């Protein structure tokens, strides 16, 4: 009896260490058990968690021959580059994602914001929150972000952003009252 992709996915998920996972993944491909997007994303996450984001990009390019990367695939890479401080590459992946017609979600925005914030690129962090043509972050995403911006000495930018969000009906009185 041959194992199916689901069985192989659970084995891959249970393996500890990126080297074992990569070896098992390569064996899956060699034996013609073509992984699905969930399996690819699991390995992408493992690579990024180990700081091997460039290798994760190579894997994503490899999987592009079998199926299109998902929003989750892109978010894993964007977050990986943001956590390593390489915001240029994070934005490159973001641009590729948007170019492929995949719209950003709250996870994308948070990863980019905190990456820029940790890199002390506060204006870029604020720009992420002002919108990009994708899904705009929700009000609950903005609250801790605006506090962080204000604490970083950009109170004016935080107040301006808060005003913009109220005007666009992203922040409501209910959310603002819950903040206090």
Do 87 and 152 lie in a common domain? no
Do 87 and 148 lie in a common domain? no
Q: Which residues of 167-177 are buried (b: 16+ CB within 10 A; e: fewer)?
A: eeebbeeebee
Do 34 and 102 lie in a common domain? yes
Domain assignment of residue 172, given as a range? 136-179
Residue 70: per-residue pLDDT: 92
Residue 172: per-residue pLDDT: 53
Contact 89, 118 (CB under 8 A): no
Do 71 and 101 lie in a common domain? yes
Please give the torsion angle defined by the CA atoms of residues 149, 151, 156 and 160, in that order, rounded to the nearest 10 degrees. 40
Report how many domains make up the chain.
2
Residue 128: per-residue pLDDT: 78
Do 31 and 101 lie in a common domain? yes
**Residues 31, 37, 43, CA angle at the centre, nearest 5°?**
75
Cα dist from 79 to 21, 29, 62, 103, 160, whole Å: 20, 26, 20, 16, 27
Residue 51 included in any domain: yes
Residue 175: per-residue pLDDT: 46
Whole-model pTM: value is: 0.71
Do 140 and 100 lie in a common domain? no
Do 46 and 113 lie in a common domain? yes
Residue 55: per-residue pLDDT: 84
Instruction: Compute mean pLDDT per 10 residues along the chain, 180 residues long, and list them.
Output: 58 60 72 75 84 84 75 96 95 94 89 87 77 56 67 75 69 49
Residue 23: per-residue pLDDT: 75
Residue 131: per-residue pLDDT: 63
Do 36 and 108 lie in a common domain? yes
């Amino acid at each position: 009896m041959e194992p199916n992709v689901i069985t192989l996915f659970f084995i891959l998920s249970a393996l500890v260490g990126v080297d074992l996972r990569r070896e098992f993944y390569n064996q899956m491909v060699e034996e013609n058990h073509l992984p699905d997007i969930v399996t690819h994303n699991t390995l992408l996450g493992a690579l990024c968690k180990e700081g091997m984001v460039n290798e994760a990009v190579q894997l994503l390019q490899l999987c592009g021959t079998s199926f299109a990367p998902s929003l989750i695939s892109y978010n894993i890479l964007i977050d990986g580059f943001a956590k390593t401080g390489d915001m240029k590459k994070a934005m490159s992946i973001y641009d590729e994602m948007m170019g492929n017609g995949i719209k950003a979600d709250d996870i994308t925005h948070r990863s980019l914001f905190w990456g820029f914030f940790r890199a002390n690129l506060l204006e870029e962090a604020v720009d992420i929150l002002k919108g990009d043509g994708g899904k705009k972050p929700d009000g609950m995403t903005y609250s801790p972000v605006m506090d962080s911006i204000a604490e970083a000495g950009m109170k004016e930018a935080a107040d301006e952003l808060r005003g913009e969000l109220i005007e666009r009906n992203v922040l409501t009185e209910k959310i603002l009252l819950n903040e206090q």
